[in-house]
Amino acid sequence: MKRIKRLSKIFFLVYLILLVPSLTEASNMHEKENKIGIVYWHGDIKQNKIALTFDDGPNMPYTLQILDILKKYNVKATFFVIGKNVERYPEITKRIVQDGHCIGNHTYSHPELLVNTLSHIRYQIKKAEEVILRETGIKPNLFRSPYGMNNLSVLSEAERLGYVVVEWSVSGRNGIMEPRFDKIVKKVLQDTQNGSIILLHDGNRLAKKANRSQTVKSLPLIIENLKQRGYQFVTVPELLNLN
């Protein structure tokens, strides 16, 4: 049984490395169809509103640096945090909320949910929720699964627990590997349009002090350029008109 589970995880990682990037590059993510009330890829393409989102934090010192930049430019963002990282850096999590940003659930330990049971999917969402609520006083209602990978089990369980699933339509492609800042900037600027949900990472799963210096360096350039193009930065709930 352990061997089968190990092989399943290896297959899943190979799938992520080889298939997902090609699909992302080959398709226009803004054309993905929102499943209203359940899962969203983007906001209204008729309005010049966009949402910055950050995954895998909080992460020292880069989340703090990102928060400083967002404050400087008066931009509100949405942070999909990992429960274990919240436990590691509760004060940073509190600051995310205190600065007026939205906080979302990104599971407790960032597992590959597609190869897990319903009970473990439920545990991952509920455990992260408990940690976030304990540290911030806020019960999140936005969920993003690890790697953005969903199936019927993940979606149905998230919906049953009262969550809206949020994907993305633009990615800086700074997931496991951190590219140079200019590549992050180029990718975001060329793909952003009305209603974009932009994915960046302030952490790297459960890695301690994961290097996100290139993301930090890219952020002012992204914000300045997109503001010059007339885009308004809002949180995900504001973008999607969620209560």
In a domain, 9, yes or no: no
In a domain, 58, yes or no: yes
Identify the sign of the CA torsion 217, 203, 75, 147: positive
The alpha-helical segments, DSSP class H, found in the chain are 2-18, 20-26, 62-72, 83-88, 90-98, 118-136, 152-160, 181-191, 213-228, 236-240
Task: Report the domain count for the chain.
Answer: 1
Q: Phi and psi (nearest 5°) for 242? A: -95, 145
pLDDT score for 25: 42
Asked if residue 33 belongs to a domain, the reply is no
Q: Is 5 inside a domain boundary?
A: no
C-alpha neighbours within 13 Å on the C-beta side of residue 85: 29
pLDDT single digits (tens) 132-152: 999 999 999 999 999 999 999
Q: What mean pLDDT do residues 40-48 have?
A: 95
Confidence at 6, pLDDT banded by 50, 70, 90: low
Residue 160 in domain: yes
CA distance 171 to 175: 9
Structure tokens at 243: 């209560």
- Share the mean pLDDT of the chain: 90
Q: How far is CA 105 from CA 112, 138, 149, 206, in A?
A: 15, 11, 14, 15
The yes-or-no verdict on residue 19 having pLDDT over 70 is: no
The boundaries of the domain holding residue 157 are 38-240
Residue 29: the pLDDT is 61
Please check the confidence at residue 69 and state whether its pLDDT lies above 60: yes
Choose the weakest-confidence range: 19-23, 97-101, 137-141, 197-201: 19-23
Q: How confident is the model at residue 27 (pLDDT cuts 50, 70, 90)?
A: very low
Q: The domain spanning residue 170 has which CATH number?
A: 3.20.20.370
Report the C-alpha dihedral over residues 233, 235, 241, 242, rounded to 10 degrees: 180
Verify whether residue 201 is a known catalytic residue: yes
Q: Is residue 11 included in any domain, yes or no?
A: no
Q: Are 119 and 126 in contact (CB under 8 A)?
A: no
Structure tokens at 29: 């993510």
Q: What was the pLDDT predicted at 115?
A: 86
pLDDT at 28: 62
Task: Sort 3 into a burial class: Cβ within 10 Å, 0-12 / 13-18 / 19+.
Answer: exposed
Residue 225, domain member (yes or no): yes
Residue 16: pLDDT over 70: no
Residue carrying the six token digits 């885009």:
231
Catalytic residue among 55, 56, 191, 202: 55
Instruction: Please state, in angstroms and rounded to a whole number, the distance separating the CA atoms of residues 66 and 221.
Output: 13
Name which of 42, 35, 62, 71 is nearest 191 in CA terms. Answer: 42
Q: What is the pTM of this model?
A: 0.88
Question: How far is residue 11 from each of residues 16, 110, 192, measured CA to CA in Å?
Answer: 9, 17, 32
Cβ atoms of 188 and 215 within 8 Å: the answer is no
The answer to whether position 236 is within a domain reads: yes
Point out the catalytic residue in the list 42, 101, 106, 201: 201
